[in-house]
């Protein structure tokens, strides 16, 4: 996984705040994180990610970014 260098992996915007995608391992700016949260599959992505962490799989790659995100 790449470290945060101030630039969103998805939209390319520079941002001071960031977080990791729940759909894949991209590091995202606040705007992209908001878009993920609004996506219909966000709950599923988050649950799947949390289930992986619970079983000790900290390198879980996510369910994959939906084509319409
Ligand atoms: Zn972004």
Q: If DSSP states are collapsed to H, E and C, what string results for the chain? A: CCCCCCECCCCCCECCCCEECCCCCCEECHHHHHHHHHCCCHHHHHHHHHHHHHCCCCCCCCCCCCCCC
| pLDDT score at 50 | 94
> Is the pLDDT at 1 greater than 70, yes or no?
no
Q: How far is CA 55 from CA 19, 22, 39, in A?
A: 22, 17, 25
What is the distance in A from the centroid of ligand 1 to the CA of 60? 21
Give the separation between CA 57 and CA 37, rounded to whole angstroms.
22
Q: What is the pLDDT of residues 15-63, one digit of tens each?
A: 999 999 999 999 999 999 999 999 999 999 999 999 999 999 999 999 9
What is the distance in A from the centroid of ligand 1 to the CA of 15? 8
What is the distance in A from the centroid of ligand 1 to the CA of 7? 8
What is the distance in A from the centroid of ligand 1 to the CA of 67? 16
pTM, entire model: 0.87
């Amino acid at each position: 996984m790449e470290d945060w260098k101030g630039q969103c992996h998805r939209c390319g915007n520079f941002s001071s705040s960031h977080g990791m995608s729940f759909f894949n391992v991209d590091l995202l700016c606040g705007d992209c994180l908001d878009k993920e949260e609004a996506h219909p599959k966000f709950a599923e992505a988050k649950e799947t990610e949390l289930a992986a962490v619970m079983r000790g799989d900290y390198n879980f790659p996510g369910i994959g970014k939906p084509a319409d995100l």
